[in-house]
Amino acid sequence: MAVQFMFGVPVPVTTPKPKPAPEADNRIWSLYVGDLDPQVTEADLIDKFRLIGPIASVRLYRDSFTGDSLRYAYVNFFTLLDASTALCFLNHKVLKGKPIRIMWSQRYPLTRKTGIANLFVKNLHPSFTSAQLQTMFSTFGKILSCKVAAENGKTKGFGFVQYDFGQSAMTARNALHGTLVKGKKM
């Protein structure tokens, strides 16, 4: 123990213990990327998403027998900010001629499967896109996933909106049910 003298009187000096450095946030922020064109590769996804920030990893899922793309992937970021920015700016953007759909990876699909905060939207105009559906419904709450069903590049006239809370879905349904959009009653 060190001693220092103050006014001729010995005073013990204690050195404060250094505080431990805060623990690094080692979480990975994972985004589901779906509705991919069958020709999209991992390199295409890296090129698209790296403009947002450093990518931890990319995994494009493929059929184990044929090697064909299953048309969805997970893109993982090191920071919440980069993942949120990618979700905000790249959702519904075109990659290889097709709009991609991005949402937070849901490790526990119970919310999606229970249907509590999910809406089925039918009688949509053939030109209605997933981006337009998301814009229309986003004023009622945080949307986890939004998609207009399509096959061979043509919409099927219906879509799905998944909110984070059931109350948001109920409010949206009450406000928009029966609304005329592009001449069609939803």
Q: Is residue 101 part of a domain?
A: yes
DSSP-based three-state secondary structure for 28: coil
Q: Is residue 68 part of a domain?
A: yes
pLDDT over threshold 60, residue 6: no
- Count the domains in the chain: 2
Domain limit, last residue, from 105, 124, 153? 105
Domain limit, last residue, from 105, 135, 153? 105
* Token pair recorded at residue 116: 């509590």
DSSP-based three-state secondary structure for 8: coil
Q: Is residue 8 part of a domain?
A: no
pTM of the model: 0.72
Cα–Cα distance measured from residue 92 to residue 100, given in angstroms and rounded to the nearest whole number: 5
Residues 6 or more apart whose Cβ sits within 8 Å of residue 145: 101, 103, 112, 160, 161, 162
Q: For residue 123, what are the CA distances in angstroms to 145, 179, 186? A: 19, 11, 5
Q: Is residue 11 part of a domain?
A: no
pLDDT over threshold 60, residue 22: no
pLDDT over threshold 90, residue 108: no
Do residues 117 and 172 both lie within one domain?
Answer: yes
Do residues 101 and 111 both lie within one domain?
Answer: no
**What range defines the domain where residue 83 resides?**
26-105
Do residues 87 and 111 both lie within one domain?
Answer: no
Q: Would you state the pLDDT for residue 7?
A: 56
Do residues 178 and 114 both lie within one domain?
Answer: yes
Do residues 33 and 99 both lie within one domain?
Answer: yes
Q: Is residue 47 part of a domain?
A: yes
Do residues 67 and 91 both lie within one domain?
Answer: yes
Q: Is residue 42 part of a domain?
A: yes
DSSP 130-179: HHHHHHHHGGGS-EEEEEEEEETTEEEEEEEEEESSHHHHHHHHHHHTT-
Domain limit, last residue, from 81, 105, 129? 105
Strand partners, 121: 159
Residue 23: enclosing H or E segment and its boundaries? Answer: none
CATH number of the domain to which 127 belongs = 3.30.70.330
Total residues belonging to the chain: 186
pLDDT digits (tens, 9 = 90+) for 113-136: 666 789 999 999 999 999 999 999
